[in-house]
Amino acid sequence: MRMEAPEGSINPAANGLETAYPAPPPPPPLPDEALAARLETLPARVALLQKEIAKVVVGQEAHVEAALCALLARGHCLLVGVPGLAKTLLVQALARTLELRFSRIQFTPDLMPSDITGTEILEQDVASGHRRFIFTRGPVFTQILLADEINRTPPKTQAALLEAMQEKTVTVAGKLYRLDEPFMVLATQNPIEQEGTYPLPEAQLDRFLFELLIDYPTLENERSLVEQHSFTPLERLQTVLSREELLVFREAVSRVPAPPNVVDYAVRLCRSTRPGDSSAPDYIRRWVRWGASPRASQFLVLGGRARAALLGRFNVAREDVRALAPLVLRHRIIRSFQADAEGKSPDDIVAQLLKDVPDEV
């Protein structure tokens, strides 16, 4: 797998930027037959990963699976839940079992962009007296990045993550630094405390593949996690997948075919969320001000490829699109005042669309 700038990204040389810190060379590509054989082993490896993470994170199997889907689809996740639901522990456990470098940024109102990306400092050679600027990497130079309480920092600092999330690069003082692969941002938000926060703009919300809603555990799960409490839970975890294996699995997932009828269903589902589209039902025109962008259609299919592979299938099905629709669409639908007045949440709207949008036309 070659490291390439994403489509539509900036060409460093054409803009006078100097490229520094190139990404490490990826593992050699495997032929299609080897990728298919490797993909057959993915469900069993994921089951081992789920079992390992369950040692420290109880009752979050669905969210672990969604995070893995996002990682294999080269996306990012937004975790929304009240404090104390193991959001941070889940991310740390994921990084530990995948043998990936982990960094955490606690977002605060006084956090600056350079606190995330890094900065240049003046260094003096004691022997010669020569001075030079050297770049000190920030915490964004990692592979699994936890952006804790991302809505507590101003938009200027939030925007520092945009380039890293979309382009997988960081630009400082005219130099372009490439991030290592894989790179994934998992950001958290607290939904019950909004004082002194800065809601993420729609442009940045759209960069997240999934929004995961973390709820309270069941009675049995809560009893289990209390019984097995540990002050150092991560020490019990073992590595299940290496970085090289993960990159091979990710390449294999990207080649999972999506039939035309599945692509058509994903596109029609997203178009039906837009009030101005002729296919939108009447309740969409009442409940929604702005619908999902074409990026949502792409993400439904990309996530569907990963979900199909995790379940041991070699092609995307409509059931994959339906299963991932709430995760992909809930943060991309901007509701109207009428929807608020009628108590309609984004998940309610998506659930109604899944009933009304036909499988075939």
Question: What's the pLDDT at 63?
Answer: 93
Question: Can you read off the two tokens belonging to residue 308?
Answer: 């199909």
The one-letter amino acid at 82 = V
- Has residue 11 been placed in a domain? no
Count structural domains, the chain: 2
Range of the domain at 164: 29-230+241-255
Residue 347 CB-density burial (10 A; 0-12 exposed, 13-18 middle, 19+ buried): middle
pLDDT in tens, 42-51: 999 999 999 9
Question: Can you read off the two tokens belonging to residue 280?
Answer: 């939108």
Question: Can you read off the two tokens belonging to residue 323?
Answer: 């299963």
State yes or no: pLDDT of 232 exceeds 50: yes
- Has residue 15 been placed in a domain? no
- Has residue 193 been placed in a domain? yes
DSSP 205-220: HTT-SEEEE--PPPHH
Average pLDDT over residues 171-182: 87
Pair (175, 315) in one structural domain: no
Pairing of strands 77-80, 184-189: parallel
Pair (352, 269) in one structural domain: yes
Find, among 69, 89, 81, 93, the residue nearest to 249 by Cα: 69
Question: What's the pLDDT at 58?
Answer: 87
pLDDT band at 19 (very low <50, low <70, confident <90, very high): low
pLDDT in tens, 145-165: 999 999 898 888 888 888 788
> CATH number for the domain including 347?
1.10.8.80
Pair (54, 190) in one structural domain: yes
pLDDT in tens, 295-327: 999 999 999 999 999 998 888 999 999 999 999
> CATH number for the domain including 172?
3.40.50.300
pLDDT in tens, 274-288: 999 888 999 999 999
Cβ–Cβ < 8 Å for 153, 111? yes
Q: What percent of the chain has pLDDT over 90?
A: 50
- Has residue 19 been placed in a domain? no
End-to-end alpha-carbon separation of the chain, Å?
Answer: 38
Pair (206, 266) in one structural domain: no
- Has residue 296 been placed in a domain? yes
Question: What's the pLDDT at 121?
Answer: 86
Pair (103, 40) in one structural domain: yes
Pair (50, 172) in one structural domain: yes
Pair (83, 110) in one structural domain: yes
Average pLDDT over residues 63-76: 93
Question: What's the pLDDT at 211?
Answer: 95
Pair (108, 202) in one structural domain: yes
Question: Coil, strand, or helix at residue 135?
Answer: strand
pLDDT in tens, 83-135: 888 889 999 999 999 989 999 999 989 999 889 998 888 888 788 878 888 88
Pair (220, 111) in one structural domain: yes
- Has residue 131 been placed in a domain? yes
Question: What's the pLDDT at 225?
Answer: 83
Pair (44, 67) in one structural domain: yes
pTM flag (> 0.75): yes
